[in-house]
Structure 1
Amino acid sequence: TQLLEAQARIAELETHVFQLNQKATAAVDRWADYEAELTRLRAMLPSSTPEQSHSPTRSSFFQAGATRISALMYSRRPQTASPPAVPRAAPPVTPPPPEPRVTMMTPTTRNSGRTAEDLLEALNKEQMLRKAAEGRLNETNRELEDLSATLFEQANEMVATERRARAALEQKVSELEQRDVEKRVRLDKLELAMHRIEKVKTLLIE
């Protein structure tokens, strides 16, 4: 019964080790995917900065018409020459450009920063899960090795005890056979003695 229980325990540990290997392989694959996604986002970050620099001009084109752009260009050029034109062009034109710049740049940078942080956090979680899985796998392997060693020792002990019992049984059988032979010899002697006694009786009767 102990041997059957140990074999069942070994089979259970082997299935557990197989499942842990599958989980570790899946974690490694997800880790590689996260690293590839992170490198892709990092490669996209420097290329997104020039697009953000051009984005305010596009938004200014959409927000203001052609007349406002021409007025803005003319108002910026003669700022040194004609001082009265500066206060007229400054209030309506200068405040809107910085506002779209801030609103256009901050969401992308925040989103890219958040995605990078999310990926880093996911990578850290995957590393922790991988370390935990490796620790469990190592622990399971140690338990399996210990159990195999104990089972090997128990099997050796069982074989040794069986051999000793078999040797003792064979010795008892040989002793019984020897006693049987001795009994047969004694019976033969008794039969001869009885036969002689019968002969003596017949002679005395005659």
Structure 2
Amino acid sequence: MAVAPAVTLSPAQCCPQCGFDVGLPPLEDTQSALLSAQKQIADLQAQVRLLNQKASAAVDRWADYEDELAKLRTDLDNSVSSASPARSSFLSSSAASRLSSLLSPRKSIPSLKPLPAVPPTPPSQPQQQRATLAGLGPSPFPFSAATPLSSSPSTDDLLEALTREQALRLEAEGRLSETSREVEELSVSLFEQANEMVATERRARAKLEERVETLERRDVDKRRRLERLESAMERIERVRGLLGQTTSQAQPQKQGYPGSGWLRS
């Protein structure tokens, strides 16, 4: 019979109590795996610390929001209690009915109701192992324990915002109508002034043209009169010339009769 060779096991590869072969990898692989696992554990711890910081910051913001909401509620109550009758009668009956009709569908929106609490999902097995390795348990976030806000502050805020928006809209419409009226009045006055200026210019031009025509007629009349006077002066000069010639011819004839004095004596 052939005898099987005896296999010798090192004490590092078998269990010291039962002698079971463990089959461990080499020492270099074990050290590299250990280093990677330690690095992964350190990264997970850093992530957990970052998440804890974010959670604490969110809790602080949530507390600030609650304080601000409480302050807004008190301011709103004070402003409503100290409002004057004139301000309470700002909205007319039609505006109040319109406001109620606008707000009625908003009150029935299911988003204003408190949302049901979502049960937290159980962590998976690798996450549990990582948490066990890190020595930290799952940190419960305080957001699940926060109480939902009531719908009355949001309704009051919506009512106040809608009232303010309607007031601003009415004011803007009034300004727009006033501006359009002023523009129309200004355009009408400008058109009237332009028409008046055109009519005045036309009347002045007509008067000027009539004046020019009158002066031209007078000039023509003066020229005609001047021509008549010149012709009359020429006639007078001719008549004077003829009279001078006749007188000069008549004087020698009177001197040519020698017995005229004897006969008279």
Normalised TM-score (structure 1): 0.52
Equivalent-residue separation in structure 2 for 1:143 and 1:61 (angstroms): 78
Query: Cα deviations across residues 58-91 of structure 1 (Å, max 9, x unaligned)?
Result: xx8864249x9xxxxxxx553768xxx99xx56x
User: In the comparison of the two structures, how many residue pairs are matched?
Assistant: 133
Query: 1:51 maps to what in 2?
Result: none
Unaligned runs of 5+ in 1: 1-59, 69-75
Cα root mean square deviation, aligned: 3.4
Q: 1:128 to 1:61 in 2, by over 3 A?
A: farther
Query: 1:78 maps to what in 2?
Result: 114
- Identity of matched residues, %: 9
More helix by share: 1
Q: 1:121 to 1:62 in 2, by over 3 A?
A: farther
Query: Cα deviations across residues 98-137 of structure 1 (Å, max 9, x unaligned)?
Result: 4422331122212211111111111111111121122112
Q: Which has the larger radius of gyration?
A: 2
Query: 1:134 maps to what in 2?
Result: 194
Query: Cα deviations across residues 138-187 of structure 1 (Å, max 9, x unaligned)?
Result: 21222122222212211111110000000011111111111111111122
1:201 lines up with 2:260 in the alignment:
yes
The alignment partner of 2:156 has SS state of coil
Query: 1:64 maps to what in 2?
Result: 73
One of 180, 185, 189 as aligned partner of 2:240: 180
Q: 1:104 to 1:61 in 2, by over 3 A?
A: farther
Unaligned runs of 5+ in 2: 1-68, 78-111, 118-146
One of 79, 98, 101 as aligned partner of 2:161: 101
Q: Relative contact order, CA 8 A, sep 6+: which one is greater?
A: 1
Query: 2:206 maps to what in 1?
Result: 146
Q: 1:78 to 1:170 in 2, by over 3 A?
A: same
Normalised TM-score (structure 2): 0.42
